[in-house]
Structure 1
Amino acid sequence: MTMIFLGGSRDIFELPVPAIERIGAIVAAEHGVLIGDAPGADAEMQGLLAGYNYEHVGVFHAGAEPRNNLGDWAAYRISPSNGAKGFAVHAAKDREMTRRADFGLMVWDGASPGTCLNILHLAAIGRRCVVYDTMRGTAGTVHTIPDWRAMLHHAPDVRREVEARMTADERFALLG
């Protein structure tokens, strides 16, 4: 079964119509869905999938219980590293979803470094990711790290924030 990592920015509370249509196509094709438990885009996508009564969904979370699991799907706790705080608490679950994914679909607000880092993770391992940028009203597909860089040409502050969150291996991949 093809696995799709769905994600997006926590500040998005309305999905763009093309993203809704794409998620409908994922359901129609019966692809597996890997999704986080965050408020915002994750919860909006979960609500859409729950409305379809879609079963092929796994919710990944870092806490004892998912913050959101709107379809009562299988939940996978990915423990954060010892001493993790803030963003780092959720980084391990995001990396696990990337590892399991064949493709990605991200709804990005044009500013969220977490969503941007997930797009980079997918590009670094050769996974295509469809990106809906709600700030700019654009959609595109990121295939490679150069594509990711091009996506950020107008957002140098976001790129700096992403680079601050990277592991040494991720920095190496970006420079490679």
Structure 2
Amino acid sequence: MAMIFIGGSHDIVDLPDAIVGRIASIVAAEHGVLVGDAPGADTEVQALLGGHGYEHVGVFCAGDEPRNNLGDWAVYTVPPQPGAHGFAIQAQKDREMVRRANYGLMIWNGTSPDTALNVLRLAMAEKPCVTYDVANGLITTTRDVADWRTMLSRADPEIWDLLATRMTPDERLATTSG
């Protein structure tokens, strides 16, 4: 069973039809789904999967209990690094989902650095990721860091400043080499 990390931006409250169709295909193929517990895209994905009565789902959280687990699925707690605050609290959980996944499916608002970083992490691990860019109405597939840079070429240039504050040294190096 392939494992698919599905995630996206916090301000996504309606899943695009293309994503609904892809998730229906994931359900039909009985792939495993790894999803976070955040409001927004994560919760919308959970609601859709719950509506299908889908069972092959793992909900990942950084706290003791998930913020959202609409299907009462298995919970995987991934504590943040000691001293983590802000966005870094969720980053360790996201890295674990990337590690366990074979593929990614991201719903991106075109500005969220955290979703863009998850696509980068998948690209660095050579795991294909389909990204639906809601802002531009585009669907792209990233297979490597070059594809990721192409995806970001349509984003607001200010995203690079936000990314720089969130990247690990390895992530930063991957974006500047090759």
Pair in the same fold by TM > 0.5: yes
1:173 Cα deviation after fit: 1.8
SS of the residue corresponding to residue 163 of structure 1 reads helix
String of CA shifts for 1:19-73, please: whole Å, max 9, x gaps.
Answer: 0000000000000000000000000000000001100000000011000000000
Alpha-carbon distance between aligned partners in 2 of 1:42 and 1:174, rounded to the nearest angstrom: 26
Other-structure match for 1:28:
28
1:175 Cα deviation after fit: 2.0
Q: Which runs of 4+ in 1 moved over 6 A?
A: none
- The code of the aligned residue for 2:8 comes to G
Give the root-mean-square deviation of aligned CA atoms: 0.8
SS of the residue corresponding to residue 111 of structure 1 reads coil
Relative to the length of structure 1, the TM-score reads 0.98
String of CA shifts for 1:94-134, please: whole Å, max 9, x gaps.
Answer: 00000001000000000100000000000011011000011
SS of the residue corresponding to residue 158 of structure 2 reads helix
Q: Does 1:168 align with 2:160?
A: no
Other-structure match for 2:102:
102
Other-structure match for 2:84:
84
Alpha-carbon distance between aligned partners in 1 of 2:128 and 2:164, rounded to the nearest angstrom: 21
- The code of the aligned residue for 1:67 comes to R
Alpha-carbon distance between aligned partners in 2 of 1:66 and 1:81, rounded to the nearest angstrom: 17
1:170 Cα deviation after fit: 1.2
SS of the residue corresponding to residue 30 of structure 1 reads coil
Q: Percent identity?
A: 58
Q: How does 1:10-159 map to 2 (within 5 A)?
A: 10-155=10-155, 156-159=157-160
Alpha-carbon distance between aligned partners in 2 of 1:143 and 1:164, rounded to the nearest angstrom: 24
1:145 Cα deviation after fit: 0.4
- The code of the aligned residue for 1:33 comes to V
Aligned residues: 176
1:143 Cα deviation after fit: 1.0
Alpha-carbon distance between aligned partners in 1 of 2:154 and 2:161, rounded to the nearest angstrom: 12
- The code of the aligned residue for 2:147 comes to D
Alpha-carbon distance between aligned partners in 2 of 1:39 and 1:118, rounded to the nearest angstrom: 17
Alpha-carbon distance between aligned partners in 2 of 1:162 and 1:99, rounded to the nearest angstrom: 20
- The code of the aligned residue for 1:80 comes to P
Alpha-carbon distance between aligned partners in 2 of 1:134 and 1:170, rounded to the nearest angstrom: 24
SS of the residue corresponding to residue 19 of structure 1 reads helix
Relative to the length of structure 2, the TM-score reads 0.97
